[in-house]
Structure 1
Amino acid sequence: MTIQLSTAVRNALLDSIETAVGASPVLKIRTGAAPASPAAADSGTVVATIALPADWMANASGGTKAMQGTWADDAADASGTAAHYRIYAADGTTCHLQGTVTATGGGGDMTVDNTNFAAGQKFSVTGYTLTAPNA
């Protein structure tokens, strides 16, 4: 039998992720494939960097946890095609989360309004939700 978690445990698990990453983390959107794990060295070119809000995720509910506040930048760092993201502690160097990036409706772990970044272009994250096991 597969281990099953109550909704309360799933919510606590998700809320603990935000606690472990900490307040005001840094989101970097990059080109190319994601590294093998958050512990592996960065890969690809950083096309965008966003300092996320201090309270960057809503409280978990029903085994999911969604982005909170506005995740946007008035000027992308470089030109390139967004393919993966990494979320770092506020120090900008300790990676805790990573996943795929697609345009809205594209099915990525994180969605943005446009994956073709031009240096200086304004962009926004349109969706980001964490889902706990068996939610």
Structure 2
Amino acid sequence: MKIRTGAAPADCDTADAGTVLATLSLPSDWMAAAANGSKAKAGTWEDASADAAGTAAHWRLYKSDGTTCVAQGTITATGGGGDLTLVNTNIAVGQPITITSFTLTAPGA
């Protein structure tokens, strides 16, 4: 998963946009079992040292090749309604980034 600045592209077929602020390596079993149309994150999702400074605005999830996008969404501060929320969206170089909560929900669930 890469946390990036700026608006998310139209879809995963559109080229990456914004600056990469953090690159998180997810565990091989990165999602828990589905329940009521949703799946929550499993394991530890973190980057010990952010790559760049900026305001986190969107995320992209990639296959293990690091270049093939499979999902994307918005980032807001906690309570802001983004697909992924961070306590603070202002990222500093070298800052540790940990995602404590993330859920994917099927349409209509």
Which piece of structure 1 moves more, 120-129 or 88-97? 120-129
Question: Which structure's residues are more often helix, by fraction?
Answer: 1
> Letter of the aligned partner of 1:126 in structure 2?
T
The separation in 2 between residues aligned to 1:125 and 1:113, in whole angstroms, is: 10
Give how far 1:41 is off. 0.3
The separation in 1 between residues aligned to 2:20 and 2:98, in whole angstroms, is: 15
The separation in 2 between residues aligned to 1:83 and 1:126, in whole angstroms, is: 17
> Letter of the aligned partner of 1:65 in structure 2?
K
> Letter of the aligned partner of 2:35 in structure 1?
S
State the TM-score, normalized to the length of structure 1. 0.77
The separation in 1 between residues aligned to 2:57 and 2:49, in whole angstroms, is: 18
Cα offsets for 1:68-119 (capped at 9, x unmatched): 1111121001000000000000000000000001122221101123210001
The separation in 1 between residues aligned to 2:86 and 2:43, in whole angstroms, is: 15
The separation in 1 between residues aligned to 2:47 and 2:40, in whole angstroms, is: 19
Q: Which runs of 5+ in 2 are unaligned?
A: none
Determine if the alignment matches structure 1 residue 131 to structure 2 residue 73. no
State the TM-score, normalized to the length of structure 2. 0.95
The separation in 2 between residues aligned to 1:60 and 1:85, in whole angstroms, is: 22
> Letter of the aligned partner of 2:66 in structure 1?
G
Q: Which runs of 5+ in 1 are unaligned?
A: 1-26
Q: Which residue of 1 aligns with 2:90?
A: 116
The separation in 2 between residues aligned to 1:123 and 1:93, in whole angstroms, is: 21
Determine if the alignment matches structure 1 residue 63 to structure 2 residue 37. yes
Runs of 4+ in 1 over 4 A off after TM superposition: none
Number of equivalenced pairs: 109
> Letter of the aligned partner of 2:34 in structure 1?
A
> Letter of the aligned partner of 1:64 in structure 2?
S
* Partner SS for 1:98: strand
Cα offsets for 1:39-74 (capped at 9, x unmatched): 110000000001100000001111111111111121
Q: Give the alignment's Cα RMSD to 1 decimal.
A: 1.0
* Partner SS for 1:127: coil
